[in-house]
Amino acid sequence: MAEKRYNNTRKKADPVDLGVGKMPPQALELEEAVLGAMLLEKDAFINVSEILKSDCFYKEAHQHIFEAITNLFSREQPVDILTVTEELRRMSKLDEVGGAFYITQLTGRVASAAHIEYHSRIIYQKFLQREMIRISGVIQTKAFDDTEDVNDLLEEAENSLFMLSQGSMKRDAVQINPVISEAIENIKKASQRTDGLSGVPSGFTELDRITSGWQASDMVVIAARPAMGKTAFVLSMARNMAVKYKQGVAVFSLEMANVQLVNRLIVSETELNADKIKNGRLEPYEWEQLDHKIKSLIDAPLFVMIRPDYPSLSCALKRDASKSNTISKSSSLTTFN
């Protein structure tokens, strides 16, 4: 199935002032070559559609031609000069693209269809450049407007660029052989474990028996009504993984400051009264207990991070989680609270 590289239902790009003498990034000759190759090679569209959508083409006529080819392919009809010309006529776009003569001309632009995927990637890069220019132009215009909320504008900029970057992430298909080898290796590793788990243990025996430990790439949702102990449960698991099993854990919270999160961990680890920890009213022996037991948390591969300006799990937060070098290299589990 063709990969959806970018949201094709987005609003039409607003024109951006590039300055005198500047043209938007484009590769018209490659656009012609790619379209021409799709008219000549029946399998070319499959490779191209995994990379490009119609709005990736700079020239509007080329967008219409690509849409016509897409329509034919989706209806499992043959793609050639005649069928594309007829489809454009049905779409009332034939004259707009330059008529049947221009469609015929495109096939003469093809030197070889062997490099169509490489050419498509260049076209997509030009599209990304244009989108970054458009986004930055919109943000720049709004930044000059004193009525715009700065935090909202920052989130808009981050979200726009995040969505653009997500669209540019290609997920290639892989041959099954190396995946089987990896699976067999995981089975061998699991067989050597005495706890019977294949993933990261949570420290809760019954839960681990059901899940076999938290598995790589799994997303687990812990849901309950407010004040039912969700955060306490997650922090307990995080503590067990980091302190007891030495597994890296990253905790992201949109509800608490990092000091509040750490205070809850300290209370759990030291078994001291939460109010005493909060107010600092500890007896001398309790200070000693705090100093002694806190060492396990200090040495644990545990990370906390907050984004207080965001009311919900934003694209910016997910971006931070995936791109933070310290966290990504050291963490086996990432939790969002």
Give residue-wise pLDDT tens across range 270-293. 788 888 888 788 888 888 888 888
Report whether 49 contacts 77 (CB < 8 A): no
pLDDT for 170 beyond 90: no
Q: Is the dihedral of CA 39, 42, 48, 53 positive or negative?
A: positive
pLDDT for 330 beyond 60: no
- Mean local confidence (pLDDT), 167-195: 73
Q: Give yes or no: 255 in active site.
A: yes
283 vs 32, more confident: 32
pLDDT (0 to 100) of residue 168: 63
The closest of 175, 138, 165 to 153, measured between CA atoms, is 138
Task: Decide yes or no: CATH 3.30.1360.20 for domain 28-167.
Answer: no
196: left (phi over 0), alpha (psi -120 to 50) or beta: left
CA 100/CA 116 separation, integer angstroms: 23
Instruction: Give 335's pLDDT tier (boundaries 50, 70, 90).
Output: low
Instruction: Give 7's pLDDT tier (boundaries 50, 70, 90).
Output: very low
pLDDT (0 to 100) of residue 84: 96
pLDDT for 218 beyond 80: no
List helix spans (H) across the chain: 28-40, 44-49, 60-74, 81-90, 94-97, 99-107, 116-143, 150-167, 176-191, 205-211, 230-239, 258-270, 274-279, 284-298, 315-323, 325-330
Q: Which residues of 230-243 are buried (b: 16+ CB within 10 A; e: fewer)?
A: ebeebbbbbbbbbb
Stated pTM of the model: 0.54
- Mean local confidence (pLDDT), 282-311: 76
pLDDT for 10 beyond 50: no
Average pLDDT over the chain, rounded to an integer? 80
193 vs 31, more confident: 31
CA 51/CA 55 separation, integer angstroms: 12
CA 89/CA 85 separation, integer angstroms: 6
Q: How many CB atoms lie within 10 A of CB 103?
A: 23
Write the single-letter amino acid at 193. Answer: R
Distances (CA, A) of 145 to 138, 139, 140, 142: 11, 10, 9, 5
Instruction: Give 5's pLDDT tier (boundaries 50, 70, 90).
Output: very low
Q: Which residues of 85-98 are buried (b: 16+ CB within 10 A; e: fewer)?
A: bebbeeeebbeebe
Q: What is the dihedral of CA 80, 86, 89, 93, to 10 degrees?
A: -10
Q: Which residues of 41-56 are buried (b: 16+ CB within 10 A; e: fewer)?
A: beebbebbbbbbbbbb
97 vs 210, more confident: 97
pLDDT (0 to 100) of residue 88: 96
pLDDT (0 to 100) of residue 309: 47
- The ranges assigned to domains in the chain are 28-167, 221-336
Report whether 253 contacts 337 (CB < 8 A): yes
CA 284/CA 86 separation, integer angstroms: 88
Instruction: Give 18's pLDDT tier (boundaries 50, 70, 90).
Output: low
pLDDT (0 to 100) of residue 295: 84
100 vs 319, more confident: 100
pLDDT for 337 beyond 80: no
pLDDT (0 to 100) of residue 8: 42
Task: Decide yes or no: CATH 3.40.50.300 for domain 221-336.
Answer: yes
Say whether 250 sits in a helix, a strand or coil.
Answer: strand
pLDDT (0 to 100) of residue 19: 56
Q: Could you report the per-residue pLDDT of 56-115, keeping only the tens digit for each?
A: 999 999 999 999 999 999 888 999 999 999 999 999 999 999 999 999 999 988 877 778
Give the percent of the chain with pLDDT over 90: 32
Helices 116-143, 150-167: crossing angle, 10 deg rounding = 180
Distances (CA, A) of 169 to 6, 52, 128, 130, 207: 10, 12, 12, 17, 35
Q: Could you report the per-residue pLDDT of 115-166, keeping only the tens digit for each?
A: 899 999 999 999 999 999 999 999 999 999 999 999 999 989 988 988 888 7
Q: 255, 269, 271, 286: which is the annotated catalytic residue?
A: 255
By DSSP bridging, strand 333-336 and strand 302-306 are unpaired
pLDDT for 261 beyond 50: yes
